[in-house]
Amino acid sequence: MPVLGLVVAGPYDEAILTTFVGRIRPERATVHCRPCGDDARVTRFFKELLEDFKFVNAGGAVDKAIVVRDAHRKPPAQLLGKLMVGFNASSYSFPVKFVIVLPEPEAWLLADHKALSAVGAERGRATTFPPRINLTGDIGGPKEGVASPPWQGQSRLHQGCRTEVGRAGRY
């Protein structure tokens, strides 16, 4: 079973990426994730966290480490250059890969269920991913049986939200 080390910005990235790894790996990879708090801390502290990956696998090293940082509309090459300052790959017995996440490809990947299924299939996983819920589609009308709702004249989205919240008993 492969052992993977991830250095990420925060708990949201940790949850998304560990779930993603579990879905696309045919075998169940063990993932050791180290959230840093934010992307600036990823840049500052990833080398120390890579040192930790030398001993997390029953006293041994991970099979591979991936350092993930969001671009935040900055040039990826510039951010990669900052990560590479003082980095020496020969200091580690495992390969280290760097990923700069751009908003557009990230959104496309999350929205493209066919691409996710294809990547999983290429790696031997038979899971297919259903299409995402159409959040911009027709939400439906306001509550049935209400003669004159107080939100009359507001947008259909607002009415639909009130309807859904009302069904949950929280409005």
pLDDT tens readout for residues 100-140:
887 654 555 566 677 777 777 776 777 777 776 554 444 44
pLDDT tens readout for residues 65-77:
999 998 888 888 9
DSSP code string of 77-135: HHHHHHHHTT--GGG-SS-EEEEEE-HHHHHHHHH-HHHHHHHHHHTT----PPPPP-T
What is the domain range of residue 111? 3-122
Judged against a pLDDT cut of 50, whether residue 144 lies above it is answered with: no
Give the single-character DSSP code of 91: G
pTM attached to this predicted model: 0.62
155 and 116 together in one domain: no
130 assigned to some structural domain: no
How far apart (Å, rounded) are the C-alpha atoms in residues 157 and 165? 12
pLDDT tens readout for residues 14-28:
887 887 787 777 677
28 assigned to some structural domain: yes
pLDDT tens readout for residues 17-61:
887 787 777 677 788 999 998 989 999 999 999 999 999 888 889
- pLDDT for 139 equals 45
